A and B are shown apart, each in its own frame.
Chain A
Amino acid sequence: MHKDQQDDLYNKFKTKIELVSGECYRVNTALEASELVCNVLIEKGIKDVALLNSPISQKGDFVNTFEKKGIIVYTDNFRQVTPDAQAGITQVNYGIAELGSLVQADADVNQRLCSTLVPIHIALISTDKLIPTLKDTMATIHSLPEIPGFVGFITGPSRTSDIERVLTIGVHGPKQLVVVFVDEEVGGVA
């Protein structure tokens, strides 16, 4: 993808996701991502995090970076740890620029445990996985060998307006969503 086009898509995405209370960052390399996420965790006072291993987290050596700062990192046993962990980190498959949406296209239950039960979800994504529109995204998913068992769009933290139509952030899903785009090509998630 052309650099200008990528910048344009990223800017659209960032504008959209910030409108729905998401945080959005962009870095060059997986190592920079590791530093950035580590700082975010410290800033938010996170003591333990559920990390679902992915190309970006491995390339960026996330586990070591965090542990050096005294953060406990869980990389398995997610059914036990995610109900109480303070944050979860997963890599997602695509981003939809038009909507500021992340796309998980993965049947793996751990992908959802680490991104739904935790109060803070940190999503990693390769910048080249940005897709311009919803329509293009549906076509991309449709062109996969088969529709993955679970495809989830995530657009901001969970929300409700069920009481008196007052918007309240953080119901059953995360209360905060942090998205980190990585420009370096490290490969998407399976």
Chain B
Amino acid sequence: MADKQFKKKISDALDNNVLRGALGRFGDAYVISREKAYEGYDFKEISDNIAEVKSYAASHLDEMIDQFEKQATARGAKVYRASTGEEAKQYILELAKKKEVKRVVKSKSMVSEEILLNKTLMSAGMEVQESDLGEWIVQLAGQHPSHMVMPAIHMTKEEVADVFSGHLHKLNQPVIAELVKTAREELRKSFLEADMGISGANMAIAETGTLIMLTNEGNGRLTSTLPPTHVFLVGIEKLVPNFEDATHILQALPRSATGQQITSYVSMVTGPTPAYYPDGTVQDKEFHIVLMDNGRRKMYEDEKFKKTFQCIRCASCLNVCPAFQLVGGHVYGHIYTGGIGTILTNFVNSEKDAQNPQNLCLQCGKCSEVCPGQLDIPQMILELRNRMGEKTGLPFTQKFALDVVSNRRLFHSMLRMASIAQKPFTKGQPVIRHLPMFLSGLTEKKSLPAVAKVPFRDVFKTIKQDIKNRKGKIALYAGCLIDFVYPRIGEGVIKALNEKGYEVVFPDGQSCCGAPATYMGDRGNARKCAIMNIEALEAEKVDYVVSACPTCTHALKESFKELLHDDPALASRAEELSKKAKDFSKLLFDLGGLTPGGDGIPLKVTYHDSCHLKRSMGVYTEPRKILTDTSGVQLIEMKESDRCCGFAGSYSIKFPELSGPILDRKLNNIEESGADVVVVDCPGCLMQISGGLDKRNPGLKAIHTAELLLDKRKNVKKNRVK
């Protein structure tokens, strides 16, 4: 759970309008420029290629390092293997002392930031100059980079001008072209005077001992040209097996990082090249390569985190992250920021350092969609969360809540009690608009739905199922929200499936799917829920198991299998359930959909894609087809229809201050679409969005696909008869 200091950092970041503005504008522009840069290219194919060559390197790491060292040495380089940051720093410091270095110029190296190399060299009396413009600004301002690719994205031109004026003892106007000119002039001196250059690399080619770096400003070229001593500081994850494998990364890195087809400069350095020495002679330069581990190997040896080796550090995961876009990099607390940064921090810094930032992940999966290295970042963050939960335990209140949830009888009787106890807050309305005191953050931006008077499990018994041409039997898994808050969704599901010839049964022993426990890092309780539901649902006895909540469906299809993989008997039952479980709109579509029809009354709808349905299950055309087959329905696509609504389960309780603005953006897009109704397939999204609309625009309604069908097809049969 996030601690107080961390919460303070978040609220400071949220209060920083400059940061919010810069990140927001960039995030919007990035999506478009990335898409344009990949036009005519097959992103899937490129990322498959990257995953292939990088995973090969990861599983042959020693071989790669040996080969790289052999080849680079054959070309005249001196290769040093540093197992820790300390070793890397000592090696470079000793070399600098031996060469009587006074001035060091650096082109961009995140690894050197990771180990705070500058501090070591500066305390030995050397001048160290960053030369990447963003890095230099951050260096002068005494800060850390807030983004891997754009270190100073958090600063305005006014702030940069102030920093320049303070350090260069002359007034700088906040005019970007002028500031860049100042940087050119100031740093030119550093390049010409430096007696040592330090660079990072984007790739290290084992086959040829070549280092490749991509830059736009030309600092990489100058650092590789002028100083007579050149050190490359490289993390072992930069290894790529063969020279031509670099093609794939060259295709993806600039496109994914900055939306460019290629950076202005790509520099490939193989061994020492000639350089001018102070005496005017031209000789091969002193050329060193430091290959650094610093916690990385531990990460790659861990089966769950091995894929981090496939990361090419493009930072596209940050650029599309709704949470990063709100708070920026500095909230993450260390050098590497965003989702991938949290994982790297866990291994190169410490688990403790990753404890707060891992909470920021919404698990929306947008980052995985754009990752050219095919990393499942949310899954890895979840793994961290669970390991932390197992090691240190969850705070008492959370643990208590999850213990209750995994005890069906207790949980359900508490929900029934809540339905009565909530009355003071609902004031006779179906929503809770205000909560007292510390809970008020929950209802600041949105209303909460009231717990239904009669839960679905009781409503079910009263539903008369009308089945013609009986084809089979489907078990309905309701999940907590449909069971206790939105029973009408369940009614819609039954009605539609009856029409397809299926009887729907409601196994009474079912309870919470365990997702809250899974996403809060409590595998013990998640497992209990998995077992309880597998036993209750008896998938063996039905044709399908349907759920109208994609988060629950994901649990039935994926999480249960993972949680029970060590118990063969339960695992095979989980497998059976996984095969039969389908989300409502997917199942209805697969069964051939409903006969087109409806009340014909014009209704403008827009559709919100839930994260789990679209990205975990790849379902997004199916619900749209179901909607447009309903007569009267006009579907208008909203902007960013698959962007997270900010609910993310317990996230909206842990971080209402982040969930709120994410919701605002969703509501803006819904309003801009001009639709009368927003349709969703997830009761969680429904709760979040309808709560927000209730506060802001009560005329606009949110409903679940199953409810829309119920409403619009009330009289379908009668219509057909006519």
Contacts and interface: CB of A to CB of B under 8 A. Distances in A.
A and B form one complex: yes
Nearest to A116: B221
B270 A162 contact: no
A109 B276 contact: yes
A109 B221 contact: no
Given A164-B156, A172-B131, A109 B225 contact: yes
Nearest to B287: A149
Given A83-B192, A168-B177, A99 B261 contact: yes
A159 B273 CA distance: 25
Interface stretch (B111-119, B145-153, B344-352, B456-464): B145-153
A150 B269 contact: yes
Given A116-B218, A172-B217, A172-B218, A149 B133 contact: no
Interface in B253-271: 258, 261-271
B243 A138 contact: yes
A55 interface: no
A153 B262 contact: yes
A165 to B, nearest CB: 5
A12 B275 CA distance: 35
Nearest to A168: B180
A171 to B, nearest CB: 4
A107 B261 contact: no
B225 A113 contact: yes
B172 to A, nearest CB: 12
Q: Is the interface of A mostly helix, strand, loop or mixed?
A: loop
A158 B216 contact: yes
B217 A173 contact: yes
B542 to A, nearest CB: 52
B264 A157 contact: yes
A104 to B, nearest CB: 9
A108 interface: yes
A173 B180 contact: no
B262 A147 contact: no
Interface stretch (B21-29, B594-602, B698-706): B21-29
A149 B273 contact: yes
B210 interface: yes
B224 interface: yes
A173 B107 CA distance: 13
B272 interface: yes
B188 A171 contact: no
B276 A163 contact: no
Contact of A147 (B29, B180, B216, B270): B270
A103 B270 CA distance: 15
Contacts of A151: 267-268, 270
Contacts of A174: 218
Contact of A159 (B132, B217, B269): B217
A168 B225 CA distance: 23
A129 interface: no
A173 B266 CA distance: 13
B243 A170 contact: no
Interface in A79-113: 79, 83, 99, 101, 107-109, 112-113
B402 to A, nearest CB: 42
Contacts of B247: 134-135, 138
A155 B265 CA distance: 6
A161 B258 contact: yes
Interface in A141-190: 141-142, 146-166, 168, 170-174
B219 interface: yes
Interface in B176-203: 176-177, 179-181, 183-184, 187-188, 191-192
A139 interface: yes
A162 B134 contact: yes
A112 B176 CA distance: 27
Nearest to A21: B264
A14 interface: no
B422 to A, nearest CB: 47
B453 interface: no
A24 to B, nearest CB: 16
Most buried by A among B131, B157, B160, B265: B265
A71 interface: no
A57 to B, nearest CB: 21
A163 B261 contact: no
A142 B180 contact: no
B269 A158 contact: no
Interface in B415-435: none
Contacts of A109: 225, 273-276, 282
Given A152-B265, A170-B184, A171-B184, A165 B153 contact: yes
Contacts of B266: 101, 152-153
Interface residues of A, number: 46
B450 interface: no
Interface string B468-503: 000000000000000000000000000000000000
A147 B210 contact: yes
Contacts of A134: 247, 250-251, 262
B325 interface: no
Contacts of A36: none
A154 B208 CA distance: 22
B216 A83 contact: no
Interface in B650-696: none
Contacts of A163: 133, 137, 152, 155, 157, 160, 176, 179-180
A172 B208 contact: no
B95 interface: no
Given A153-B262, A164-B176, A173 B218 contact: yes
B304 to A, nearest CB: 33
B244 interface: yes
B222 interface: yes
B243 A147 contact: yes
B243 A155 contact: no
A152 B273 CA distance: 13
Residue of A154, A155, A158, A164 with highest tally of chain B CB at under 10 A: A164
A20 interface: yes
B180 A108 contact: no
A138 B246 contact: yes
B264 A165 contact: no
Interface in B350-409: none
B280 interface: yes
B150 A165 contact: yes
A162 B188 CA distance: 18
B188 A83 contact: yes
Contacts of A164: 22, 156-157, 176
Interface string B168-180: 0000000011011
A159 to B, nearest CB: 5
A165 B26 contact: yes
A153 B264 CA distance: 8
A147 B276 contact: no
Nearest to A173: B218
B243 A116 contact: no
A147 to B, nearest CB: 5
Contacts of A165: 22, 25-26, 29, 150, 153
Contacts of B191: 172
12 contacts: A83-B188, A109-B276, A138-B247, A151-B267, A154-B265, A155-B265, A158-B217, A160-B134, A165-B150, A166-B157, A170-B184, A172-B187
Interface of A: 16, 20, 79, 83, 99, 101, 107-109, 112-113, 116-117, 134-135, 138-139, 141-142, 146-166, 168, 170-174
Given A149-B271, A171-B219, 19 more contacts: A138-B243, A138-B250, A146-B270, A150-B267, A150-B270, A151-B268, A152-B266, A152-B268, A153-B265, A158-B218, A162-B133, A162-B152, A163-B180, A166-B157, A166-B176, A168-B176, A168-B180, A170-B184, A172-B184
| Those 6 A-B pairs whose CB atoms lie nearest each other, nearest first | A173-B218, A162-B134, A171-B217, A153-B266, A158-B218, A149-B273
Interface of B: 22, 25-26, 29, 75, 131-134, 137, 150-153, 155-157, 160, 176-177, 179-181, 183-184, 187-188, 191-192, 208, 210, 216-219, 221-222, 224-225, 243-244, 246-247, 250-251, 258, 261-276, 280, 282
